């Protein structure tokens, strides 16, 4: 996984759609449009996966444990 896609804290998954969206906003503010687009695409994909899997709360903080069980 690309180093920019690594979560800053040890509990939050790097596939957490909220974390990815926050990183996209940071990239946009820094003028990094390509990087922001990558973050948003991964966030969208993860959110769609959560919805398709029947997650009751698809847009929530996801921990590394959530990803292991997913």
How many angstroms separate the CA atoms of 32 and 12, rounded? 23
Domain positions in the chain are 11-69
Which pTM does this prediction carry?
0.70
C-alpha distance from residue 55 to each of 4, 12, 17, 23, 59 (Å): 27, 17, 13, 23, 9
Q: Residue 1's pLDDT is what?
A: 38
Helices (H), 5-63: 17-29, 33-52
Backbone angles phi, psi at 7, to 5 degrees: -65, 145
Tens digits of pLDDT across the chain (70 residues): 344 555 555 677 778 888 999 999 999 999 999 999 999 999 999 999 988 989 887 777 666 666 555 4
């Amino acid at each position: 996984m690309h180093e920019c896609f690594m979560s800053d804290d040890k509990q939050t998954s790097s596939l957490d759609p909220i974390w990815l969206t926050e990183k996209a906003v940071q990239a946009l503010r820094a003028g990094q449009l390509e990087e922001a687009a990558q973050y948003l695409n991964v966030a969208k994909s993860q959110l769609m996966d959560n919805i398709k899997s029947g997650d009751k709360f698809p847009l929530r903080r996801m921990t590394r444990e959530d990803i292991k069980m997913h």
